[in-house]
Amino acid sequence: MSTRINDLCDSLVTAIRDTWFPISPDLVSREYEVDLDSATFLGRRVYVFPDLYATPEPASRSEDYEDLTVQILVAERCADVGAVSKDWLDSRVQWVQDVIVGYLDRVRNEPAILGDHWPQSREVEVYDRESLVERKLFLSVVSITFRHLYTP
């Protein structure tokens, strides 16, 4: 039997894949741990991590609300020679907004996308400065909390 938070992560992986259509070496997957220290990984990687879930609250006598937080990490190494250009970074920042964050905005109008989950809040770390400077690595982290209605 799977856990509710991993079911949510798997639904997000499917939804992102169905929106993005990654072609190898690009990929999207659910993970617990990834190695981003390799200087040779290629393509754009999207990883979905289960983060935490909180104490459920009763929504009715038969249902509970539960908040589930997941993290979506987008990583891509710039293979261009020299410094990373602003245009290269702008396009990655735009992609995160359009494909990851933009998808979640659709859920408001199309709640059936994620079944009984709907986004409550999100926080986006647009890029990690240290990773960019030291490793020419674009690293963006989207943290989202979903509320889930379920029958315990």
Distance CA 56, CA 86 (A): 44
d(CA 72, CA 104): 12
Q: Total number of residues binding other proteins (CB under 8 A)?
A: 6
For residue 63, state whether it binds other proteins (rule: CB under 8 A): yes
**Which one of 59, 93, 101, 132 is in contact with other proteins (CB under 8 A)?**
59
Residue 58 interacting with other proteins (CB under 8 A): yes
Nearer to other proteins, 107 or 132 (CB): 107
Of 4-12, 21-29, 52-60, 93-101, which part binds other proteins (CB under 8 A)?
52-60
Handedness of CA 110, 115, 120, 125 (dihedral sign): negative
CA angle 56, 58, 60 (to 5 degrees): 145
Question: For other proteins, what does the binding mask look like between residues 97 and 136, x meaning CB under 8 A?
Answer: ----------------------------------------
Q: What is the DSSP letter of 85?
A: P
- Contact in structure between 2 and 50 (CB atoms under 8 Å): no
- Interface positions with other proteins (CB under 8 A): 58-63
